[in-house]
Chains A and B, each alone.
Chain A
Amino acid sequence: MLNDALAAVTLLVDPTTLVALLAGVVVGTIIGVLPGLGPSIAIALALPFTLNMSLGPSVALLMGLYCTSIYGGSVAAILLNVPGTPASAATCFDGYPMARRGDGDLAIGITTIGSAMGGMFSIVILAFLAPFLARFALRFGPLEMFLVGVFALCCVAIIERAILVKAVAAGLVGMALASIGQDPASGDMRLTFGYFPLAAGIPLVPLLMGLFAISEVMMRVAEYGRGPAEGTLARIGFRVPGLHFWRSAWRTVAKSSLIGIVLGILPGAGPTAASFISYSEAKRSSKDPDSFGKGNPEGILASEAANNAVTGGALVPSLSLGIPGDPITAMILAALVLQGVTPGPRLYTEHMDQVLLILFSLFIANIGILVAGGFGARLFTRVLRLPEPLLLAGVVVLASVGTFAGNNSAFDLVIMAAAGFLGWGLRVLGFPLAPLIIGYVLAPMVEVNFKQALIVYGTDPVVFLERPVAAALLVMILGVLLYPTIARAVGGMRRRIASR
């Protein structure tokens, strides 16, 4: 083990490797911050470069890009209400209200620290428990994964309790949009409306940019010139809350990181589900749940620690079983295989140096998040001082160019424009957008696993007795759905006992 660690460190302190890591962190942060660009485009761009690099630099580059591009997505979520990836959608809930009231610097500070802590926490877990966790993940068959998806969707019930019916409707609309194109299980085409390019489905980035960026511009245009004219001057820079905050917040960080790791290990669920579940849990267990969604720093922390903890978790099945859980880790895995890394159980017994190289790179990249956040925050928060009309024009330009960059497709831009009007219409009528995006992201996973569970286990409910994990998930789903009723009943009972 010590020898392996030494070997990994030797590879890592090589100047080329360090330069690659630095490049990964800088480029990853920039890509993450820009609307429309995220981890998948960052890794896809880096893939051809790594072909001509040796192991150390290419691992460093990929890990640097991977976690900083996820982190960067949250900056846009906070400053502009435009999540860089669906994983940052839950960060908007509290990050954006904070930025609007002038606390953008604090929101960025919390995001940065939360991301780095979640990431580091997951690496420690990954270092010690990966093979064990990978075996645990295999207990999640189609039935369990279907239930995980349903569970994540049900968390909307806690997050948006005040407008439940509208939230559910938005979630279902998202799922309907996701089913355009093809049946994810059989590959059969459906809902193409007679237009072949729709067979590829509604792509994520144009949808996200339209729904959030363009609709945000439209919402703000409607308000522009009315209301308090630029009343609060946005603070610039990077602010971290004091110790008293962390005394209570560490629990949120720990819980969220755990949720992120578990969801990261499971295939197909990923950071979006993790940040939503973790956010709803933070809200549920908070003493003041009503402050969530109005700029509560713990909301940011919950979402951010969880979505960055996914990075470590997602590498578990990739490295120890050779099974990537999502397209991003699939690309990372392909790059590693081309470097001569053979993922699988033997990687941990015979090539611990390679595993440690990956972990160390990821760890340093998480420190890189702190540095990038610290230096970048001045620049990022300055955006808030731009005159509103210019800021809005900038959002339109960057969202459009970012959308085009993904596929070099003019059709994607049409989808973005249409999604902009859809998002704006829904917002004007009081529908929340976050459930829509989580419905869209989770729909394929829910559908595929439901169909496979039916094929494999049939319709006999006895299967829940044979599969304890599934039974536990079922109980959790009922718990989330019935939570308000249970909480009220328990509260009532307590009061009765107290009054006696």
Chain B
Amino acid sequence: MNRSMPCLALGALAAVLVGFGGDAEAQSYPDKPISVIVPFSPGGQTDIASRTLADALSEALGETVSVVNRAGAGGAIGTAEMAAADTDGYTLGVTASTPLMLKPFVSDVPYTVDSFDYVCRVFENPMFFAVKVDSDIASPKALADYAGSERLRYGSSGNGSVQHLAMLQFSDLAGVEGVHVANSSDADNLRNILADVITGTLTSSSVIKKNEDTLKPIGVMSRERSPIFPDVPTFAEEGFPVYYSLWGVLVGPKGMPEDVLATLRKGCADAQSSEAFQSRMNELGMVPAYMDGAEFEPLAKEESATSKALLEKAGLIQ
């Protein structure tokens, strides 16, 4: 099925360009392939989750949905492209917390949280603090103690990223000071953990699951314990109420036609409830977290406002 997808995409594209596409208005949406922009390189968690969703969405909408990777500037390049795309509903994207919530405040990007129509949330991976598997640190409390007595160095995916912000909040609550060692990829952070350059990093369950031999989760920043690692305490239950997760959301540019958005939202709901999608996500250690776009939008705006206040407090807004 996958093999025919790009061919179909091409065929349709060619047909439209040469003028055989017919009157798009007369037919119902969708009548040609849809592309989903992923603002990160192939192989990462957002990419894999998006590909899984694209497969399920193709099934649900009866049209080919293919993934296009547009990496760069921590996800800002691809996210900017989603915001600037045609509003016909044939160019969508899956963006993530950092580019959507935080980048607009810390960098000069041509979009804000208001530049999008929200289709649905795709996944929400609880964020764990992971340390080397043989480390003595075993809980958020122990992490705070360690930070009090020794120099805590933590990794993140950049200045003003979700990880950075969350650790600033934790350090604040614990009354300790950590050293921030930014890096551009999960892999670099893992290396730094194994080479004892940093104590640990905040990362998602799927990354820890893939590296269970070398990493150990010691705390999760969700409200309840995660079913993936039920023995790992939450930061809140040990007295550090910090709540962050790494999520991905399917969006389109602001101003898509009502009926198109409705079709997409329904398609996304069907896709995510499918057996294939659920089992694939499970294998990947990701938490499918379907939420309708209409419901998600106010949450996103709220989180964006909170983030802005936190970034301001941390002096990260230039």
Direct chain A–B contact by Cβ atoms under 8 Å = yes
A346 CA to B215 CA, complexed, in Å: 13
B148 proximal to A (CB < 8 A): no
Closest chain B CB from A190 CB (angstroms): 10
* 6 more A-B residue pairs beyond the given contacts A48-B51, A187-B160, A323-B187, with a C-beta to C-beta distance below 8 A: A47-B42, A187-B157, A200-B72, A322-B190, A331-B43, A334-B44
A182 CA to B74 CA, complexed, in Å: 9
A466 CA to B41 CA, complexed, in Å: 37
**By the criterion CB–CB under 8 Å, are A188 and B181 in contact?**
no
**By the criterion CB–CB under 8 Å, are B77 and A456 in contact?**
no
The stretch that binds B, out of A31-39, A75-83, A139-147, A367-375, is A139-147
* Closest chain A residue, CB of each to CB of B109: A196
Residues in chain A near residue B8, CB distance under 8 A: none
**By the criterion CB–CB under 8 Å, are A456 and B197 in contact?**
yes
A192 CA to B110 CA, complexed, in Å: 13
Most buried by B among A182, A321, A322: A322
**By the criterion CB–CB under 8 Å, are A188 and B107 in contact?**
yes
A112 CA to B210 CA, complexed, in Å: 36
B57 proximal to A (CB < 8 A): no
17 contacts between A and B (CB under 8 A): A43-B42, A44-B69, A52-B2, A138-B194, A141-B196, A184-B184, A186-B158, A187-B157, A188-B106, A189-B108, A322-B210, A325-B187, A330-B185, A333-B43, A448-B183, A452-B192, A456-B179
**By the criterion CB–CB under 8 Å, are B77 and A331 in contact?**
no
Q: Footprint of A on B, CB under 8 Å?
A: 1-3, 5, 41-44, 47-48, 51, 67-74, 76-77, 80, 106-110, 153, 157-161, 179, 181-185, 187-188, 190-192, 194-197, 210-214, 284
**By the criterion CB–CB under 8 Å, are B191 and A455 in contact?**
no
* Closest chain B residue, CB of each to CB of A201: B72
A317 CA to B184 CA, complexed, in Å: 18
Q: Per a CB cutoff under 8 Å, which of B71, B183, B191, B214 touches A185?
A: B183
Q: Per a CB cutoff under 8 Å, which of B157, B183, B210 touches A337?
A: B210
* Closest chain A residue, CB of each to CB of B66: A48
A186 CA to B103 CA, complexed, in Å: 12
**By the criterion CB–CB under 8 Å, are A323 and B43 in contact?**
no
A393 CA to B3 CA, complexed, in Å: 33
Closest chain A CB from B11 CB (angstroms): 17
* Closest chain B residue, CB of each to CB of A329: B187
* Closest chain A residue, CB of each to CB of B209: A342
Nearest 6 A-B pairs (CB), nearest first?
A: A187-B158, A200-B72, A334-B43, A344-B213, A186-B159, A199-B73
A338 CA to B43 CA, complexed, in Å: 10
**By the criterion CB–CB under 8 Å, are A334 and B70 in contact?**
no
A273 CA to B76 CA, complexed, in Å: 30
The interface bits of chain A over 424-466 (1 if a CB of B lies within 8 angstroms of the residue's CB, else 0) are 0000000000000000000000001000100110000000000
**By the criterion CB–CB under 8 Å, are A331 and B194 in contact?**
no
Give the A interface residue count (CB, 8 A). Answer: 52
* Closest chain B residue, CB of each to CB of A48: B2
**By the criterion CB–CB under 8 Å, are B3 and A49 in contact?**
yes
Most buried by A among B47, B77, B109: B77
A184 CA to B182 CA, complexed, in Å: 9
Name the interface residues of A310-336: CB closer than 8 Å to any CB of B. Answer: 317, 321-325, 327, 330-331, 333-335
* Closest chain B residue, CB of each to CB of A134: B194
Closest chain A CB from B80 CB (angstroms): 6
A456 CA to B180 CA, complexed, in Å: 10
A182 CA to B160 CA, complexed, in Å: 14
A376 proximal to B (CB < 8 A): no
**By the criterion CB–CB under 8 Å, are A196 and B182 in contact?**
no
A54 proximal to B (CB < 8 A): no
Q: Per a CB cutoff under 8 Å, which of B71, B108, B194, B196 touches A321?
A: B194
Residues in chain B near residue A43, CB distance under 8 A: 42
Most buried by B among A44, A182, A184, A199: A199
A119 proximal to B (CB < 8 A): no
A337 CA to B211 CA, complexed, in Å: 10
A343 CA to B195 CA, complexed, in Å: 17
Residues in chain B near residue A333, CB distance under 8 A: 43
Closest chain A CB from B79 CB (angstroms): 11
Residues in chain B near residue A51, CB distance under 8 A: 2, 51
**By the criterion CB–CB under 8 Å, are B68 and A408 in contact?**
yes
A322 CA to B51 CA, complexed, in Å: 22
A181 proximal to B (CB < 8 A): yes
Residues in chain B near residue A334, CB distance under 8 A: 42-44, 47-48
Q: Per a CB cutoff under 8 Å, which of A197, A317, A343 touches B210?
A: A343
With A48-B2, A187-B161, A331-B41 as contacts: A267 and B188 at CB distance below 8 Å: yes
* Closest chain B residue, CB of each to CB of A333: B43
A286 proximal to B (CB < 8 A): no
Residues in chain A near residue B106, CB distance under 8 A: 188
Residues in chain B near residue A289, CB distance under 8 A: none
Q: Per a CB cutoff under 8 Å, which of B74, B153, B197 touches A187?
A: B74
A477 CA to B215 CA, complexed, in Å: 35
A132 CA to B73 CA, complexed, in Å: 36
A43 CA to B197 CA, complexed, in Å: 31
**By the criterion CB–CB under 8 Å, are A187 and B214 in contact?**
no
With A187-B157, A188-B159, A322-B211 as contacts: A330 and B1 at CB distance below 8 Å: no
A10 proximal to B (CB < 8 A): no
Closest chain B CB from A143 CB (angstroms): 9
**By the criterion CB–CB under 8 Å, are B158 and A141 in contact?**
no
**By the criterion CB–CB under 8 Å, are B212 and A344 in contact?**
yes
A51 CA to B184 CA, complexed, in Å: 26
Q: Per a CB cutoff under 8 Å, which of B3, B77, B108, B213 touches A322?
A: B213
Residues in chain A near residue B191, CB distance under 8 A: 138, 267, 317, 321, 323
**By the criterion CB–CB under 8 Å, are A138 and B195 in contact?**
yes
**By the criterion CB–CB under 8 Å, are A342 and B210 in contact?**
yes
A303 CA to B9 CA, complexed, in Å: 40
Closest chain B CB from A414 CB (angstroms): 16
Closest chain A CB from B43 CB (angstroms): 3
Name the interface residues of A41-71: CB closer than 8 Å to any CB of B. Answer: 43-44, 47-49, 51-52
A345 proximal to B (CB < 8 A): yes
Residues in chain B near residue A407, CB distance under 8 A: 70
